Amino acid sequence: MKFILSVVIATSSLFAAVSAHAIVKRAPPSGPHWDYSGDKTGPDHWGLLDPAYVTCETGMQQSPVDINAQSLSRFVHCAKKALTFDYEPVKDAVAHFNGHTVEIDWTPNSKTHNNSIAIGKKEYHLIQFHFHTPSEHRINGRHADGELHLVHRNPVDKSLAVIGVLLQAQARNVPFFHYLTALQKKVHADKRDSAVAAAPGTTSAVVDELLKDSVCAGTQPTPQSATKVDYPLKLVDFAPLVRALKGFTPRWEYSGSLTTPPCSENVAWNVMHDPYPIGLDQLRALVDLQGYNARDLEDSRGPAHE
């Protein structure tokens, strides 16, 4: 399990989008305000904010987790058999900052292909994907620079399956993430230039304190302003991602939870063994848009709970 891990990003929420050619109108988030701060609205207090969030406090299979020798011997399984999946490009998607994460979603119609994965006899359809910075899952205690979550839902019982992809920063930008810098520029309408060049090396120390130099690229947008900006995507082609991840194999599998309120459990997690690259400029754009949005590791499966 060798990773050149560096910086960190990512998390979730299910908003509907309309055609990329129309003005997108989204309903305001329901439930009480929550965030990633150390205050009374932060992760340590999510379970106290609303009765609907109590699982964040009392759940016994919470995510994210550290994948290490102990968790592998207890509840995480290393899967080397190919995951059954059926992915095609998605048309007319929308990239936006929803107040917690940068998310890409779309409105299904009769012509939309149900990108899907199969776990056992159960099929799950891809409904959105989003980012965390830094990564929420850790490998042997170490963050990755970010994490991409591909969120799938079973159409019958509405249960969820998530593919988690650890992101590793590199100097060159990656075509699959081209919309990140474009969304950042659209949010900052003045299109100010970044005063800091992307260093071609590594990163870390929790993404170098979440890329200190990102402040040189502009002021962190407020949720109120950023959530009103959408960047339309005519096509999202997953082929380069799926190819690089060898058809989502190998991977670590375990039963966990959503990493955001309401922290619902029985989520089928598939964390990819191999990281996927992200350009440092693209990572900087993510950090500028969403800041630190990674839930702390959960220890609900510790010896005291067995």
Residue predicted with more confidence, 184 or 224: 184
The predicted model gives 25-29 an average pLDDT of 48
pLDDT band with cut points at 50, 70 and 90 for residue 110: confident
Nearest-5° angle of CA 303, CA 304, CA 306? 65
Tell me, what CATH number does 288's domain have? 3.10.200.10
Sign of the four-CA dihedral 250, 256, 260, 264: positive
* pLDDT the model gives residue 112: 85
**What is the band of 48 on the pLDDT scale with cuts at 50, 70, 90?**
very high
Sign of CA dihedral 40, 151, 209, 192: negative
Predicted local confidence at residue 198, as pLDDT: 41
- pLDDT tens for 244-286 read 999 999 999 999 999 999 999 999 999 999 999 999 999 999 9
**28 inside domain:** no
Write down the pLDDT at residue 194: 40
At residue 221, the pLDDT reads 63
Q: Is residue 38 included in any domain, yes or no? A: no
Q: Residue 103 corresponds to which tokens in the numbers above?
A: 């998310």
Q: Does 123 map to a domain?
A: yes
Give the Cβ contact number of residue 55 at 10 Å.
Answer: 19
Determine the structural domain holding residue 71 and report its residue range. Answer: 43-192+201-299
- Residue 241 half-sphere exposure toward CB, CA atoms < 13 A: 20
What sign does the CA torsion over 150, 9, 262, 96 have? negative
pLDDT digits (tens, 9 = 90+) for 60-84: 999 999 999 999 999 999 999 999 9
Q: Give me the pLDDT at residue 2, please.
A: 39
| Number of domains making up the chain | 1
Task: Tell whether 37 is covered by a domain.
Answer: no
Mean pLDDT of 17-29: 37
Percent of the chain residues topping a pLDDT of 70: 77
For the chain, give the longest Cα–Cα distance: 54
24 found inside a domain: no
pLDDT in tens, 130-157: 999 999 999 999 999 999 999 999 999 9
The span from the CA of 122 to the CA of 129, in Å, is 20
pLDDT of residue 206: 56
First to last CA, the chain: 27
Q: Residue 220: its pLDDT value, please?
A: 59
Residue 21 has pLDDT above 70, yes or no: no
Structural domain includes residue 69? yes
- Look at residue 88 and tell me if it is in a domain: yes
Residue 177 forms part of a structural domain: yes
